Amino acid sequence: MTRVRVAVVGLGYWGPQLVRNLYESPHAELAAVCDARPEALAPLARRYPGVRQATDLGEILADPEIEAVVVATPISTHYPLARAALESGKHTFVEKPLAGSLEEASELVAVATKLDLVLMPGHTFLYSPPVHAIRNLIASGELGEIYFVSTSRVNLGLHQSDASVIWDLGPHDFSILSYWLQEPPVRVSALSRGCVMPETPDVAFIQLEYASGVIANVELAWLAPSKLRRTTVVGSHKMVVYDDTSVEPVRVFDSGVNLPDPATFGEYRLSYRTGDIVSPRVAVAEPLELELEDFCTAIRTGSPLRSTPALGVEVVRIVEAAERSLAEGARVTVPDAAPPVGSRSA
Ligand SMILES: NC(=O)c1ccc[n+]([C@@H]2O[C@H](COP(=O)([O-])OP(=O)(O)OC[C@H]3O[C@@H](n4cnc5c(N)ncnc54)[C@H](O)[C@@H]3O)[C@@H](O)[C@H]2O)c1
């Protein structure tokens, strides 16, 4: 497989991580980097000599040698930059969320489909080995029927200038939940507060309901004394605790409650089971490396992406539903997903 010639646009907090991974990847050739701020380019000139630099994406898009563009700019710029990249014939990877509105996200998928280009949303956690391991535990039936999921993603900062905590951190949990449960939520209710800047929510509690009966609670905050990435999945057979900050990120609890005969419930004859706690061995791999490999392989071979554009659209749909719930102060229905688009970008 020949290496894909890639350019990265946006070299703020996250872009340099993508740059490093592409530079080291056997599947990609880091051909160019771009940022509107020259001071963001300067340190990369020292670290990656020979890699072309630009302050205007137009220069990069005009280069026929560049096959793919990775967009790591603020959310409000995802749509115009990704659209311009696609319309210049470049395969396009867009950091999460795919776009700043459902309409924009759907439009990007339509453009990519029409031009037969790979469009990939950067839902990095789908490539995290613990997340993938839990997906397998759920899919194999080991946990039994999934009852509920509760998750906390909180830390101090980074406050974003153009997005709420729901747009910033929500896509991580919404993409993980959709990947695990393999179904979209049907109803969403949200509560949030802008503690530091009243116009920008920096804490949010979001509840999701699924057609299968699963319920989920997602706590997001840029205001917390310490970093917490903790998710509990409770099933009828077993329970899982996923702690992304722990050396044992996945712990499976053989715990549960049995109700032998529902007719005797009044007598409270429940039996509680607290069995073994197992910490399965989880591969050590950098999710970003696996994610970018998936992007390059899809470009070269047409293989299906794990982080599909359809998921990118679904995540934006959930974020918008949460925003609508906040605006209306109500529990809202998530609109139905459009039928999947049958192409490389579906
Ligand atoms: N996958 C993850 O885990 C993860 C983690 C953090 C951030 N992100 C995503 O990465 C993206 C960037 O986030 P960030 O925190 O790095 O933002 P940032 O504000 O730190 O950096 C954005 C950079 O984009 C540049 N930029 C803006 N408009 C531009 C344009 N038109 N042309 C060229 N450069 C332009 C800015 O100068 C800045 O250097 C966001 O979409 C965010 O959601 C993803």
> In the predicted model, what is the mean pLDDT of residues 242-246?
93
> Do 138 and 258 belong together in one domain?
yes
pLDDT at 158 (0 to 100): 87
What single string gives the DSSP state of each residue in 168-214?
Answer: HHHHHHHHHHHHHHSS-EEEEEEEEE-SSSTTS--EEEEEEEETTS-
Measure the CA angle with vertex 232, ends 231 and 238; round to 5°: 145
Is the CA virtual torsion 3, 12, 41, 37 positive or negative?
positive
How is residue 127 annotated by DSSP? G
- Who lines ligand 1 at CB under 6 A? 9-15, 34-37, 40, 57, 72-75, 77, 81, 95-96, 122, 124, 168
- pTM of this structure: 0.95
Residue 169 forms part of a structural domain? yes
CA distance 12 to 36: 10
> Do 110 and 4 belong together in one domain?
yes
> Do 223 and 165 belong together in one domain?
yes
> In the predicted model, what is the mean pLDDT of residues 16-27?
98
Residue 220 forms part of a structural domain? yes
> Do 116 and 35 belong together in one domain?
yes
Residue 196 forms part of a structural domain? yes
Residue with tokens 């109803």: 187
Cβ-Cβ contacts under 8 Å for 261 (sequence gap 6 or more): 269
- Nearest residue (by CA) to ligand 1, atom 38, is 12
Residue 338 has pLDDT above 60, yes or no: no
Give the CATH number of the domain where residue 191 resides: 3.30.360.10
Q: Separation of 234 CA from ligand 1 center, angstroms? A: 35
CA distance 60 to 64: 9
Identify the helix (H) or strand (E) that includes residue 87: helix 78-87
> Do 66 and 172 belong together in one domain?
no
> In the predicted model, what is the mean pLDDT of residues 204-212?
98
> Do 46 and 118 belong together in one domain?
yes
User: Which residues, listed in sequence order, are joined to residue 333 by a DSSP beta bridge?
Assistant: 187
Residue 314 forms part of a structural domain? no
Q: Separation of 14 CA from ligand 1 center, angstroms? A: 6
Residue 22 forms part of a structural domain? yes
> Do 3 and 112 belong together in one domain?
yes
Among candidate residues 278, 308, 326, the one where a domain is terminated: 278
The chain-wide mean pLDDT, for the chain, equals 94
- Kind of pairing, strands 68-71 and 4-9? parallel
What are the strands, taking DSSP E only, across the chain?
Answer: 4-9, 28-34, 52-54, 68-71, 91-95, 119-122, 146-154, 185-193, 203-210, 215-221, 228-235, 239-243, 250-258, 271-278, 332-333
Among candidate residues 96, 122, 148, the one where a domain is terminated: 122
> In the predicted model, what is the mean pLDDT of residues 236-252?
95
> In the predicted model, what is the mean pLDDT of residues 158-180?
94
CA distance 206 to 197: 20
- Give yes or no for a contact between 235 and 214, defined as CB atoms under 8 angstroms apart: no
Is the CA virtual torsion 159, 222, 182, 186 positive or negative?
negative
> Do 98 and 8 belong together in one domain?
yes
- Kind of pairing, strands 52-54 and 185-193? unpaired
Ligand 1 atom closest to Cα of 94? Answer: 41
Confidence of residue 336 (pLDDT cuts 50, 70, 90): confident
Tokens of 167: 């747009």
Residue 109 forms part of a structural domain? yes
Give the CATH number of the domain where residue 110 resides: 3.40.50.720
Ligand 1 atom closest to Cα of 12? Answer: 21
Residue 339 forms part of a structural domain? no
Q: Separation of 95 CA from ligand 1 center, angstroms? A: 8
CA distance 92 to 307: 13
> In the predicted model, what is the mean pLDDT of residues 121-134?
98
> Do 118 and 260 belong together in one domain?
no
Confidence of residue 265 (pLDDT cuts 50, 70, 90): low
Confidence of residue 4 (pLDDT cuts 50, 70, 90): very high
pLDDT at 342 (0 to 100): 43
Q: How many domains, in total, are found in the chain?
A: 2
User: Which residues, listed in sequence order, are joined to residue 205 by a DSSP beta bridge?
Assistant: 191, 219
> Do 89 and 138 belong together in one domain?
no
> Do 75 and 171 belong together in one domain?
no
Q: Separation of 250 CA from ligand 1 center, angstroms? A: 30
Residue 10 forms part of a structural domain? yes
pLDDT at 268 (0 to 100): 66
| Residue of higher predicted confidence among 214 and 339 | 214
Range of the domain at 203: 126-278
Phi and psi dihedrals of 119, rounded to 5?
-125, 125
pLDDT at 343 (0 to 100): 42
- Nearest residue (by CA) to ligand 1, atom 39, is 12
Residue 340 has pLDDT above 60, yes or no: no
Confidence of residue 70 (pLDDT cuts 50, 70, 90): very high
pLDDT at 102 (0 to 100): 97
CA distance 38 to 53: 9
Confidence of residue 176 (pLDDT cuts 50, 70, 90): very high
Residue 62 has pLDDT above 80, yes or no: yes
Residue with tokens 């990656």: 48
Confidence of residue 223 (pLDDT cuts 50, 70, 90): very high
CA distance 135 to 181: 8
Residue with tokens 């359809």: 310
Among candidate residues 122, 148, 164, the one where a domain is terminated: 122
pLDDT at 266 (0 to 100): 62
Q: Separation of 179 CA from ligand 1 center, angstroms? A: 24
> Do 175 and 100 belong together in one domain?
no
